[in-house]
Amino acid sequence: MSAPVRLAHRVSELFGLSRAEAEQFIQNGWVSVDGQVIEMPQHKVTVERVELDPNARLEAVEPATILLHKPAGFDASNAYKPASSLVTPATRWADDPSGERLLRRHFHRLTSPVPLDTEASGLMVLTQDGRVWRRLTEDADLIEHEYIVEICGAIAPDGLRRLSHGLSFNGRALPPCKVSWQNETRLRFAIKGVQVGQLRDMCAQVGLGVVSIRRLRIGRVALGKGPNGAMPPGMWRYLPMGEKF
């Protein structure tokens, strides 16, 4: 039996590549071993069938941004029950329209630049891309978020007006936002710079309890709809190249 060698060494020999080129092809998901894509250059092989995808390109892989439909009860940060644990190859939305190749490296060092209450559900952003991080943090007060808030109780007589403009949170006056009734038990908020706990507190100030909160959109990016309906809770898709918040 042949002695085990690093996959990068075997790819370099088989396809006449430099070691650096072989490693880049492997890391970018273009090499398979017995039909399974392997992204680790140090993976050991002996007599397995090693193949290089005929469409392989020597180019850098862009950092990934993932859009997750977070279920209620998962934490947006790396806490006891982190929402990031839901992002796996098996939970990619079947109707993801991005066309992005799934790479395991896309699941490393994902961070969430936009807060979302643990009790809330809906659109959550996880990114490796510093450009996306800066856009969503530095321009947070300029980017509108859309929420559906299911409420209970009786709203104060001037409650809708006060929700739109006239409330404060954590000791500061809140800027104007757009609030309207979706139906008799649900309010639609289009709001900028929202903080953790803010929507629940705003509702309490006008006599309303909150049953649930769901974020539908951040800027121009929504949860997403496909031929089988909206992206379900617990599923994710890639942010396509060219789609901007």
Tens-digit pLDDT string for the chain (245 aa):
578 888 888 888 888 888 888 888 888 888 888 888 887 888 888 888 888 888 888 877 789 999 999 999 998 876 778 899 999 999 999 999 998 889 988 988 899 999 899 999 999 999 999 999 999 999 999 999 999 999 999 999 999 999 999 899 999 999 999 999 999 999 999 999 999 999 999 999 999 999 999 999 999 999 988 898 999 999 999 999 888 89
C-alpha span between 11 and 24 (Å, rounded): 11
User: Could you tell me if 103 and 61 are in contact, meaning their C-beta atoms sit under 8 angstroms apart?
Assistant: yes
Domain ranges for the chain: 5-52, 65-140+221-238, 144-218
Sign of torsion, CA 31 34 38 42?
Answer: negative
**Helix, coil or strand: residue 75:** strand
User: Could you tell me if 84 and 61 are in contact, meaning their C-beta atoms sit under 8 angstroms apart?
Assistant: no
- Tell whether domain 5-52 is in CATH 3.10.290.10: yes
Could you tell me the pTM of the whole model?
0.85
Superfamily of domain 144-218: Alpha-L RNA-binding motif (3.30.70.1560)
How is residue 48 written in tokens? 């397995």
One CATH from 1.20.140.10, 3.40.50.620, 3.30.70.580, 3.10.450.50 for 65-140+221-238: 3.30.70.580
Is there a shared CATH topology between the 65-140+221-238 domain and the 144-218 domain?
Answer: yes
